[in-house]
Amino acid sequence: MTEVLDRQALLSLLERPALRRLLGAFNDDAEETRIVGGAVRNALLGRPVTEVDCTTTMLPEVIVERAKAAGFKAVPTGIEHGTITVIVDGEPYEITTLREDVETDGRHAVVHFGRDFALDARRRDFTINALSLGLDGRLYDYTDGVADLADRRVRFIGDAHTRIREDYLRIMRFFRFHAEYAQVDPDPEGLAAAGAERQGLAILSKERIRHELLKLLVARRAEDTIRILADHGFLPWLLGGAAEFGRLSRVAAHDKDDPDPIWRLAALAVTVEEDADRLRERLRLSNDEHRKLAAYARLLSLLKTWALPLDAMVVRRLAADHDVEALGTVLAATAGEPFPIVHADAREALDRLRSGAEPVPILPLRGADLVEGGVPKGPRIGELLAQARQAWLAEGCLTDEAYAKDLLRRVLEQA
């Protein structure tokens, strides 16, 4: 399938005032600077362009001098790689000196600064990422990236094995870019090279693997691509456990307007808390990411053994004790499975809680209320609050003033 690319959207990049000022200051008879990579690719596809990177013939120190002379702020965010972040009217732009790889070890590259745009383009990973746009509106394509973009195909530049051996993370990027941009089967040469070189993934940091996998999980064709990873032996190595493709598909349909990679990872790879612990180590997840996986696992284990149908009152009780988003994800993941059985009013109640139309219920009783009622400070306060909470949960998590007064009266009588 060949698509018509949006040339007008591409040219509209040059109409952005801050970017126009930047390019005007960084182009003259001696030096040239172009927009490169993702901004060009996304503009041609008619997708939003939120970040704009540029490549230039100027050395890093010259970029800094030019920026200061033009009244821009220059920040050396990656000066060892030739990258300076230039801020124009509050908007950041990464400007990188043209490069040629001198030596690579599968993780890092030793580069030599150059002045040849074609050589710089051919050292990049995929043809669709090697396009550049000049100040005059000319589109430069040294690797047939335009044709691949029109055909919605992700293809390595030159020999796929060579590109991968330069940085083994390109295996993960191949699948991630396929999930985000392709509308055809994976490029056969790229897929074969990824399979043959996959042992190189072992030398990469877990953080880099995690970064690409989480991006892949929220890409447009995440489900199809995850199955491709499984079919070619990558998924067991990445996850270290079984995969639930059906649950991933249902959660992807559930959160399609605002996808969350961790909830999708939970649906795909978590059935018990031990899975959450394993993934934390395997992917170097943050504490918050691990907490979400563990919350999903606890709710899943609870609801898969919940014999009675869930109604609105039960959902309120669960929301009071568990993460509301975790609850929504578990119910989406298990939709259509024998358990749990979910009534329509339960889903309506959950929607109200998730949207904020109804607040998540909170026990309308505090320790201070008991002290004010005459209960001495001490362990007894905690015991009474725990008992009150059990009663409150069983009675539907009411929070109105009349209920709160009645609950306090009962607790004080018991005390």
Measured CA to CA, the distance from residue 151 to residue 184 in angstroms comes to 8
DSSP state of 92: E
State the CB neighbour count (10 A cutoff) for residue 97.
23
**Encoded tokens for 406:** 């009645």
Look-up: residue for tokens 């698509």? 3
DSSP 115-138: S-HHHHHHTSSBGGG--EE-TTS-
Task: State the pTM of this model.
Answer: 0.91
Q: What dotted CATH number matches 1-157?
A: 3.30.460.10
Which is nearest to 373 in space by CA: 339, 335, 410, 332?
A: 410
Q: How many CB atoms lie within 10 A of CB 280?
A: 17
Q: Domain coordinates of the chain in residue numbers?
A: 1-157, 236-361, 367-414
DSSP 8-state code for residue 233 = T
Classify 106 as helix, strand or coil: strand
DSSP 15-84: G-HHHHHHHHHS-SSS--EEEETHHHHHHHTT------EEEESS-HHHHHHHHHHTT-EEEEEEGGGTEE
Whose tokens are 């040629």? That residue is 100
Q: How many other C-beta atoms lie within 10 A of the C-beta of residue 355?
A: 8
H or E segment to which residue 238 belongs: helix 234-239
**pLDDT tens over the chain, length 415 residues:** 567 899 999 999 999 999 999 999 999 999 999 999 999 999 999 999 999 999 999 999 999 999 999 999 999 988 888 999 999 999 999 999 999 866 666 666 667 899 999 999 999 999 999 999 999 999 999 999 999 999 999 999 999 999 999 999 999 999 999 999 999 999 999 999 999 999 999 999 999 999 999 999 999 999 999 999 999 999 999 999 999 999 999 999 999 999 999 999 999 999 999 999 999 999 999 999 999 999 999 999 999 999 899 999 999 999 999 999 999 999 999 999 999 999 999 999 999 999 999 999 999 999 999 999 999 999 999 999 999 999 999 998 999 999 999 999 999 998 8
Bridge partners (DSSP) listed for residue 120: none
Non-local CB neighbours of 165 within 8 Å, separated by 6+ positions: 104, 106, 197, 200
Strands 91-97 and 53-56, by their bridges, are parallel
User: Which one, of 277, 278, 269, lies nearest residue 300 by Cα?
Assistant: 269
